[in-house]
Amino acid sequence: MEAKKEWYLEYEISRNRPGLLGDVSSILGMLNINILTINGVDTMRRGMLLLTDDDEKIEVLRNVVQKMDNITITRLRPPTMLDRLAVRHGRYIERDSEDKKTFRFVRDELGLLVDFMAEILKKEGHQLIGIRGMPRVGKTESMIAASVSANKRWTFISSTLLRQTVRSSLAIDELSTDHVYLIDGIVSTLRSTEKHYSLLREIMNFPAAKIIEHPDIFARESEYEMSDFHYIIELRHHPDEEITYELINNRGFDNFDMN
């Protein structure tokens, strides 16, 4: 007998007639495929996390559902992190069509954003996340909440949360792989000391997670590049808000309220 394995089924509904979900559930029951989680992931889409010990049953499921009226399979695969989040929160995370490592959120979706970042932070080793957004949109609170959710300790290397923080050294217990290092890309590149930058290099080479606010400025003003980031997160007050650093470019750091 094969080990039990999870699968993600998502289907699009062309006409949501009464009993449609019951029909799908009955097919799964007859195949002895367990439903772990179910949720709508769009207005006319439904997603399910399934569990079975026989991959052949998944192919039977695919063939049967393809014959059903009113629904079309859009995904049937081992679940990705994004699939799990879609079922948990009832919607897919918006992803840039050209830059696949860029993900977009609005402030009303902070719960989804925190869950997304926490899943990344649970991964072992070097994880580099950049987060873009205008002042007071929730970047720092999301970074801290995600660290807590991932059961990781968090340490500011640079920040303007309460007052400007520019660390030049760490205590012994602050350098460990269960830490998340939070870095303000503007402070670390435009207002740092040589000692701070030396610490920054050490942290960037350390096999632990890092989250950098304002990654564009960080890449522009340092030896690091945007290609070094594994994920870029954009957080806006509303979907049409423009993220701009015009105040920094025109008048300098002091005119950009980072709190």
Q: Using 50, 70 and 90 to split pLDDT, how confident is the model at 163?
A: confident
Predicted confidence (pLDDT) at residue 259 exceeds the cutoff of 50: no
**Concatenated DSSP letters of 170-222:** --GGG-STTEEEEEEHHHHHHS--HHHHHHHHHHHHSSSEEEEESHHHHHHHS
Kindly report, as residue ranges, where domains of CATH 3.30.70.260 are found in the chain.
Answer: 5-86
Q: Could you tell me which CATH class the domain 93-250 is placed in?
A: alpha beta
202: left (phi over 0), alpha (psi -120 to 50) or beta: alpha
Kindly report, as residue ranges, where domains of CATH 3.40.50 are found in the chain.
Answer: 93-250
Predicted confidence (pLDDT) at residue 32 exceeds the cutoff of 80: yes
Q: Using 50, 70 and 90 to split pLDDT, how confident is the model at 191?
A: confident
Mean pLDDT of 31-48: 89
pLDDT score recorded for residue 247: 61
Quick check: pTM over 0.95? no
Looking at 3.90.226.10, 3.30.70.260, 1.10.10.10, 3.40.718.10, the CATH number of the domain 5-86 comes to 3.30.70.260
Distances (CA, A) of 133 to 122, 139, 147, 186, 233: 23, 7, 19, 13, 9
Predicted confidence (pLDDT) at residue 156 exceeds the cutoff of 70: yes
Predicted confidence (pLDDT) at residue 127 exceeds the cutoff of 70: yes
Predicted confidence (pLDDT) at residue 20 exceeds the cutoff of 90: no
Q: What percent of the chain has pLDDT over 70?
A: 94
Query: Mind listing the pLDDT tens digit for each residue in 204-248?
Result: 999 999 999 999 999 999 999 999 999 999 999 999 999 988 765
Q: Which amino acid is residue 88, in one-letter code? A: R
pLDDT score recorded for residue 59: 94
Predicted confidence (pLDDT) at residue 162 exceeds the cutoff of 80: no
Rounded Cα–Cα distance for residues 188 and 167 (Å) = 9
Rounded Cα–Cα distance for residues 105 and 233 (Å) = 8
